[in-house]
Structure 1
Amino acid sequence: MKFEKSPYFKTLKPYKLELNFGNYYFCEKFIVSELFEGVHFDWDMVQELIQEIYKFYGEGIKLGYIANRVNAYSIDPQNWLKIEKKYNILVAAAIVVYNNATYINASLEKLFTQKSIKRCLSLKEAVEWIESLEEFN
């Protein structure tokens, strides 16, 4: 389910950021990403996104991240480690999976970070998990 079609879009009233590689929804405690079909999410894209995050939230922010994988795309799993080392803005991440291939990729990505990454079967599960983290309560 796309984030804009979910009940969370109406209740959380996020800021929508449209980039040429995907849409991002900036909520109070977390960001939801929906990358476009066929994109290879590389380090240059990560840095562009981080600059937009800093513009919106300010530096020193701690956020959750939900990758809503409604489209097929690729990612360099080492991006997780690079983000952690260079920016350290993520508290934890949830990856919403819609098929076995996405689940396997998310499992691989978990190996590249010290941060908690939860594989979720629904947007609801991801949002509830992120909002329940003790860092946000």
Structure 2
Amino acid sequence: MTEIKEGIILNFEKAAALFQLGKEHYGNKTPFVYISNRINSYSFEPTAHYKSTDLFPNLLGFAVVTYDLLNKEVAELEQVFLNKPTQIFHTLDDAIAWVEQLIIRD
């Protein structure tokens, strides 16, 4: 799960340290789902999703938790660029429950 600082413009290069941590923890075999807990408003270069999903063959999906309409609309736009199951939630508990279901099914 990540929480990005307010106002950050995140791209593939800026997220490299995050990707490295994910590789060290999950490797290429342990299934996982990425949770973005959007307590802050930030931008992510949507086409970077193509590069990041190639790094993780064991990535099962994306869960995004939003707390306002603007972040929900941004998350909906980003879904277009994702080639994995993706859901938007209003609570972290709901996102975690969905993640657990995805991992159990794998």
Structure 1: segments with no counterpart, 5+ residues? 1-31
- Identical aligned pairs, as a percentage? 29
Any conservation in 1 of the 2:28–2:56 contact (CA below 8 Å)?
no
Give the TM-score, by structure 2 length: 0.88
Give the TM-score, by structure 1 length: 0.69
**In terms of Rg, which structure is larger?**
1
Aligned length: 105
Deviation above 6 Å: which 4+ runs of structure 1? Answer: none
Question: Whole-Å Cα distance in 1 between the matches of residues 81 and 98 of structure 2?
Answer: 21
**What's the CA shift string for 1:7-45, capped at 9, x where partnerless?**
xxxxxxxxxxxxxxxxxxxxxxxxx11011111111112
RMSD: 1.6
Is 1:136 aligned to 2:92, yes or no? no
Is 1:47 aligned to 2:11, yes or no? no
Relative CO higher for 1 or 2, CA cutoff 8 Å, sep ≥ 6?
A: 2
1 or 2, which has the higher strand percentage?
1
**What's the CA shift string for 1:59-96, capped at 9, x where partnerless?**
43331011000011111111222212343342011100
Which residue number in structure 1 is paired with residue 80 of structure 2?
111
Please report how far the alpha carbon of residue 128 of structure 1 lies from its aligned counterpart in structure 2 after TM superposition. Answer: 0.5
Is 1:35 aligned to 2:4, yes or no? yes
